[in-house]
Amino acid sequence: MRIRNIAIFSAAVLAGALGGSLIGPRPAEAVAREIIELQRDVTSILQGQKDLSTQTTQDHTVMKTLVEQSGDTVGKLNGTMSALQKSMQDVQANSGARLDTMSTQVQGLSDNLEEIKSRLGKLNQQLVDLQNTVQSLDAKISGGGTAPSTGVSNPGAGLSSQPPSGGTMAPASASGPAPSADTLYSNGLRDITSGKYDLARQEFQDYLKYYGDTDLASNAQFYLGEIAYSQKNYDQAVSEFDKVLNNYPKSFKLAPARLRKGMALIELGQKTSGVRELREVVKRYPGTDEERKARAKLKELGVAVSAANR
């Protein structure tokens, strides 16, 4: 359209020039020169229009190519973002499993430390009693009297014959005596922290079988629940944690047992029961690490803690 307008305009100018040359008294040579210059200008304008059209077409092609490349880049970026999101979800899932394992390991180490402190205290008391007995014997001997009957032929025997926390040794079986309470419990802690769950389960079960009336029996029962939870046997985990809650009302494992029971119920799809257990943790054990974990899980589930527990 522009080219046609320019052509019409040029023709009009040319006609005007011719008319002027015919009307006016100007010489024919001057008119011819002006006509030639005018034709040259028109040709230049037409060539410029053609060049502009060509440049516009090229720019359009370039823009189309850039748009297509941008679309491809966006598509690749979306694919990369999807892959990254999946990787992040996998990392979060693995991190959660690792945190559970680390929590179990840390708890086991803490219990082991408490057990060692308890043993050291009892050992110290036994040493004091032994020292008093020896001093009494020395005093009797120095005074020329006869040594009183102490009921212990080997004074140091009491250090190894008695299991910790008032437990009783198991009777010997056909294959020999059962391992000591210390051995069973220590081996169980070692194996659960190193991920040898089947072996740890047998050791804690043996501990409960032979030394079920000791102070650490509730710990052994709790770790049976932890083993089941770690192996994703959530039904069994709930059963084992229930035994801690029902059979050991004075155990210091009540808070973690109720917390883990709630977690196991949620894993089983029993959200209502699991939330109820987590709220009980918040209510009964304020200020504890278990209470903070219960609150965090409730928040993750989008469930508010009841107003009485806030």
Over residues 18-35, mean pLDDT: 67
Contacts of 261 (CB under 8 A, 6+ apart): 225, 237, 238, 241, 242, 245, 277
The CA distances from residue 232 to 21, 226, 235, 284, in Å, are 106, 10, 9, 27
Predicted pLDDT of residue 165: 40
pLDDT for 150 equals 39
pLDDT at position 35 is 86
Q: How far is CA 61 from the centre of its chain?
A: 51
Output the pLDDT for position 302: 93
Mean pLDDT of 23-50: 79
- Range in 45-54, 147-156, 284-293 with the lowest mean pLDDT: 147-156
**Cα–Cα distances in angstroms (integers) from residue 223 to residues 192, 246, 288, in the given order:** 8, 15, 19
Residue 166: predicted pLDDT: 38
* Closest-CA residue to 286 (of 310, 307, 304, 302): 310
- Separation in Å, CA 7 to CA 20, 37, 44, 124: 20, 15, 12, 118
pLDDT score for 284: 95
Helix axes 234-247, 217-230, angle to 10 degrees: 160
Q: What is the mean predicted confidence (pLDDT) over 23-52?
A: 79
The pLDDT of residue 143: 46
CA dist., res. 59 & res. 67, Å (int)? 12
Task: Note the pLDDT of residue 265.
Answer: 97
Instruction: Judge if pTM exceeds 0.85.
Output: no
Residue 305 confidence (pLDDT): 82
- Give, in order, the Cα–Cα distances in Å from 16 to each of 3, 12, 34, 134: 20, 6, 12, 143
Exposed e or buried b per residue across 152-182, where buried means at least 16 C-beta atoms within 10 angstroms of its C-beta: eeeeeeeeeebbbbebeebeeeeeeebbbbb
Is the pLDDT confidence value at 209 over 60?
A: yes
Q: Which of 10, 19, 71 is nearest to 44 (CA)?
A: 10
Beta partners for 173? 176
235, pLDDT greater than 90 = yes
Which residues fall within 8 angstroms of residue 206, CB to CB, at 6 or more apart? 178, 179, 184
Going by C-alpha positions, the residue among 231, 241, 232 that lies closest to residue 290 is 241
Mean pLDDT, residues 122-131 taken together: 63
**Over residues 225-241, mean pLDDT:** 97
Q: What's 165's DSSP letter? A: G
- Stretch 51-67: mean pLDDT, rounded? 83
Q: What is the pLDDT of residues 261-308, one digit of tens each?
A: 999 999 999 999 999 999 999 999 999 999 999 999 999 999 988 744
Residue 102 has pLDDT above 90, yes or no: no
The mean per-residue pLDDT over the stretch 200-216 comes to 95
- Is residue 213 within 8 A of residue 202, CB to CB? The reply is no
pLDDT band at 124 (very low <50, low <70, confident <90, very high): low
Statement: residue 142 has pLDDT above 60 = no
Q: What is the mean pLDDT of the chain?
A: 78
